[in-house]
Each structure stands twice: as structure tokens, then as C-alpha cells.
Amino acid sequence: MIGLIQRVSDAQVVVDGEVIGKIDGGLLLLLGVQKEDTQAHADKLLHKVINYRVFEDDTGRMNNSLLDTDGELLVVSQFTLPANTKKGLRPSFASSGDPALARELYDYFVVKAGESVVKPIQTGEFAADMKVNLTNDGPVTFWLEV
């Protein structure tokens, strides 16, 4: 399972011209599912996402997590993250999880995230054509794999 987190001052997801998920500050997580992923992978990634220290403390150092800052979380499915881009000029999606597995693990991740953070989780729409707008704070972006 792959997560691309971006520390944001705001982010939103738009589907068919309608805002369906929006946060004012916290983390935008683009979530990619690989074919060998399980709920255990989702649990490990969730632990990493909400505890990863990417927010500044009083001294300006990145020592605080999403949980420490009471930040918001926007989770967006991103099937292109597991793509293999090492050869040629066209990505291979051979390692990507099939849509049924990806939906199952995405939904599982969102439910578990909702149980782990104080503020309600915001999401995109699985398999939809989404427009993601964000203001990356820093910029701070990390690729997380489990």
C-alpha cells in the first residue's frame, strides 16, 4: 500500500462540479492499493499517516503529527501510485490492486481512519473523475510505503 501525503493549508475534491470533500488544514492523502495489499497493510499505513511528524513544533522543527495538531485528513483514492515507471514511456499497472480489492481496502482505510482521529475524515469518490485542489504547505510531501 502506498500513501502520498501532503501537508496542506487547504484541500478539496470536486466531482461533477460539486465539492465532495474539503479540509482547511492537515494532510491530503493520495492512497494507492497494490495487488498484494491486505487490511494489515492498511492498518500499518494508517498508523504511519496519522503519526508521521510533518507539522512544526514551537521551535519550527517537524516534530508534530496529525494527531498532535488535531489536523484534518482528506483521503483520495489514486490508482496510478503503484504504477511501474522504470521502463519505457508508458506506465505499467501490473502491480496495482484490482478495482474490487482497491475499493475494499480504501473503504476499510477510511473507516479505520475515522475511528483514529478526532475530526471527521473527508474523502474523494472512489473511481470517479476527481479534481483535487490543494495548497501544499511548505511544500511538504512524503511517499509512504508499507
User: Active site residue: 59, 69, 80, 141, which one?
Assistant: 80
Set of cell numbers at residue 119:
475530526
List CB contacts of 100: < 8 A, sequence separation 6 or more.
Answer: none
Nearest-angstrom CA–CA distance, 121 and 43: 16
- Residues paired with residue 34 on neighbouring β-strands, in sequence order: 96
- Residue 106 Cα to chain centre, angstroms: 10
Nearest-angstrom CA–CA distance, 68 and 80: 30
Instruction: Look up 69 and say whether it is catalytic.
Output: no
The set of catalytic residues is: 80
